[in-house]
A and B are shown apart, each in its own frame.
Chain A
Amino acid sequence: MLFERTLRTAALVTATAVITFTSGAALAQKKYDTGASDTEIKIGNIMPYSGPASAYGIIGKTEEAYFKMINDKGGINGRKINFVTYDDGYSPPKAVEQVRKLVESDEVLVVFNPLGTPSNSAIQKYLNAKKIPQLFVATGATKWNDPKNFPWTMGWQPSYQSEAQIYAKWLLKEKPDAKVAILYQNDDFGKDYLKGTKDGLGAKAASMIIMEESYEVSEPSIDGHIVKIKAANPDVLLIYATPKFAAQTIKKTAELSWKPLQILTNVSISVGSVMKPAGFEAAQNVLSAAYAKDSTDPQWNNDPGMKKWNEFVDKYMAGADKSDTSMIYGYGAASTLAKVLEMCGDDLTRANIMKQAASLKDFTPDTLLPGVKINTGATDFAPIAQLQMQRFKGERWELFGEIISGDIATE
């Protein structure tokens, strides 16, 4: 702790010195809101470090490490990032308490990448009323892209609906006569996918979808649903299920020696926790889509972006498990924020941060697939809306086809 503080003080002194040298010209345009100063930008964050979703806590740790790297390199426009992150235990009341602490006690400039749909729903109204950016939220629900009603909230990853639209577009192009069955989880997550698929298929939805089967998260096994779906004899099965159920589905279809074309949600593409338990043999030729690079995929061995990521992990997160996709995610989100802060220059007001966040043009973090670009606009608060299709071959995913865009707006 003490060591860290000395370091920080040393850094501050250096930064101040640099600023005194350069401040002459820029003095006129400098504008700050609470949480920003000549030497520091204070960023707030909440993460489930404990509780049912604690596996995601690694995202917060990655972001903390990323900003440490930025500070070691001299900060952003000469200012150090002070990243304050608190545990909300995936509990909405705790999220409200911690965010109020960040805003009213720590006085942060923005709340960045808070994780989870319930937690973000709980703090959205408060932050918008206070006009504090709720930037790049870590959830795939579609409702974050709503600049008209919530001008201070912005998503980051592709929404579930836009991903489902991409599958629908692909089906319309490749298999226009398919008989489609949809298996979805009966909650907001599954229903977002269902809606996206129907919207994407448009007028053909009614004729192509022959069955919609939902299951409850509380069910121990979904074998019964698979048997029921097989009886309807579809030739395409869309699996909008969380990891455990996705693995069960792939395994069961193989056991029934039934071979429909299976498309799997991006949420459940983990090789370690889905494809391996389902059995690699059963998982062959399953389709899905991705927007970020897979750290275990050897095709990125010589990729400059992933080399940077590997160096970052080795230096700042030594000993971490590199196959954890949360580290790819945290790195990408943090570098997007760094880009926005850089674009803000010396005008570090909350309004300018939202303005700059809404004017990202073709930004490509190191960890996104080549061709996937972050674009935002005054009416487009969905930064990533592109994905590429991939097929499971052997023991890993192989990308194919071109980048497909699934931009949608909330009505």
Chain B
Amino acid sequence: MSTAEDVVTEAPAIEAVPKRAMTLGTGTSVVVLLLLLAVPLFAKNFIIFQLTQLLYLGLAVLALNILTGGSGQFSLGQSAFYAVGAYVTAVMMEAFNINYVLCLPIAGVLCFGFGFLFGQPALRLSGVYLALATFALATAMPQLLKLNFLEHWTGGVQGLVVTKPDAPFGLPMSQDMWLYYFTLAIVLAIYIFSVNLLRSRSGRAFMAIRDNEIAASAMGVNVALYKTLAFGVSAGITGVAGGLSAIAVQFVAPDSFTITLSIQLFLGMVVGGVGWLPGSIVGAAFIIFVPNIAEGISKGLSGAVFGVLLFFVIYLVPHGARQVAIMGQQLVGRLKKN
């Protein structure tokens, strides 16, 4: 049986999301943006650090969302791209003294190339098989980072300490606050880019492939090109997120980028709503804060508590944050009518 037939007979794993439903309305966007801008002014440094975490993990979830929600391909290998981005940034900053602002685009471009190349063999695989292939990539990555001949740069198992940048131009803000706004600017730029990408011709091609590969190719979409392109874009954005994480955490080590990270990102995507880009931040919030809440409830059973919470989310709102948002919208609409 050919792959094409495979795809046809499989039930669609990802619900088709129309492209308008992928973003927020203008009013909501402005409110969210204002909130994101204002909160650090009133929060402690630790909260700002957590919000920074939220932003770059949200970015990584967004990258996966473009791949899965946009083009319909699964990936459990995001932690590998994330690791490459983090290491490239860390090594360039520490070993070659390159400014961190320049490191991020380089990390992004490198990861784009890496992802694009990985997309080539991935073309032959679909659904769960693709998930498995990317899974292999994620399990291999921590060990590759420990390799002897790379140790000179990567620091091997010991990892690499990164210096946190100060606010430039003598701005009167703490390192954490500067990094937050820096991260916010990058995340916003990439978010706008992603929204436009999905609304463009390429985005329509992604979604056509997601909805029906054969139909898409009959319409003249170059399936191979767009599938690998989606992989590349996703990997590139993940790389930037990884780079931001290296700067914020000030440390990279192979143990930071295990398969658990990939699974967390996947979880974040599902909880946020597959194919709904603003949900990425909600998903990231889930993977950062819910384990902490679970630990607060019971230290010994934190994993089990987390599992129960996750189960409730999936059971009550299977489409994640998107479903909650839609319900909220309908509620507001009904109130207006009355």
Q: Do A and B come from one complex?
A: yes
Which residues from chain A sit less than 8 Å from chain B, CB to CB? Answer: 49-51, 85-87, 89-93, 96-97, 100-101, 103-105, 117-118, 121-122, 124-126, 186-188, 218
Please report the number of residue pairs spanning A and B whose Cβ atoms sit closer than 8 angstroms.
75
With A86-B295, A97-B49, A188-B157 as contacts: A91 and B258 at CB distance below 8 Å: yes
Distance (Å) between the CB of B135 and the closest chain A CB?
16
A50-B302, A101-B46 known; A92+B260 contact, CB < 8 A: no
**With contacts A87-B295, A92-B251, A96-B250 known, is A121 near B256, CB below 8 A?**
no
B128 touches A (CB below 8 Å): no
Assess whether A93 is in contact with B256, with CB atoms less than 8 Å apart.
yes
Q: Does B239 contact A (CB under 8 A)?
A: no
Cβ of B49: which chain A residues have Cβ within 8 Å of it? 97, 100
What chain A residues lie within 8 Å of B46 (beta carbons)? 100-101, 103-105
Of residues 130 to 168 in B, which have CB atoms within 8 Å of A's CB atoms?
143, 146, 148, 156-159, 161
21 interchain pairs (CB within 8 A)? A50-B302, A86-B295, A89-B260, A91-B255, A91-B258, A92-B253, A93-B245, A93-B251, A97-B49, A100-B46, A100-B49, A101-B46, A104-B44, A104-B46, A105-B44, A118-B158, A121-B251, A124-B161, A125-B161, A188-B157, A188-B158
Interface centre among B45, B53, B253, B255 (most CB of A within 10 A): B255
Main secondary structure on B side of the interface with A: helix
Residues of B bordering A, CB below 8 Å = 44-46, 49-50, 53, 143, 146, 148, 156-159, 161, 245, 249-253, 255-256, 258, 260, 295, 299-300, 302-303
Per the bound structure, the CA–CA distance linking A51 and B256 in Å amounts to 12
Known: A91-B256, A91-B260, A104-B45. A96 touches B251 (CB 8 A): yes
> Do B253 and A118 touch across chains, with their CB atoms under 8 A apart?
yes
How far is it, in angstroms, between the C-alpha of A91 and the C-alpha of B142 when the chains are bound? 12
For the complex, give the distance between the alpha carbons of A186 and B258 in Å: 19
Chain B residues within 8 Å of A85, by CB: 299
Q: Is B255's CB under 8 angstroms from A118's CB?
A: yes
A187 / chain B contacts, CB cutoff of 8 Å: 146, 156-157
Tell me the bound Cα distance from A187 to B255 in angstroms.
13
* Interchain CB contact (< 8 A) of B250 among A51, A89, A126: A126
- The CA of A229 and the CA of B151, in the complex, are separated in Å by 26
Residues of B with C-beta under 8 A to A188: 156-158
Residues on the B chain within 8 Å of A86, using CB:
295
In the assembled complex, the Cα of A91 lies from the Cα of B263 at a distance in Å of 14
With CB as the reference atom, state the residue of chain A lying closest to B49: A100
A121 near B299 (CB under 8 angstroms)?
A: no
Contacts of B156 in A (CB 8 A): 187-188
Question: A207 CA to B238 CA in the complex, in Å?
Answer: 52
Chain B residue nearest to A116 (CB atoms) is: B255
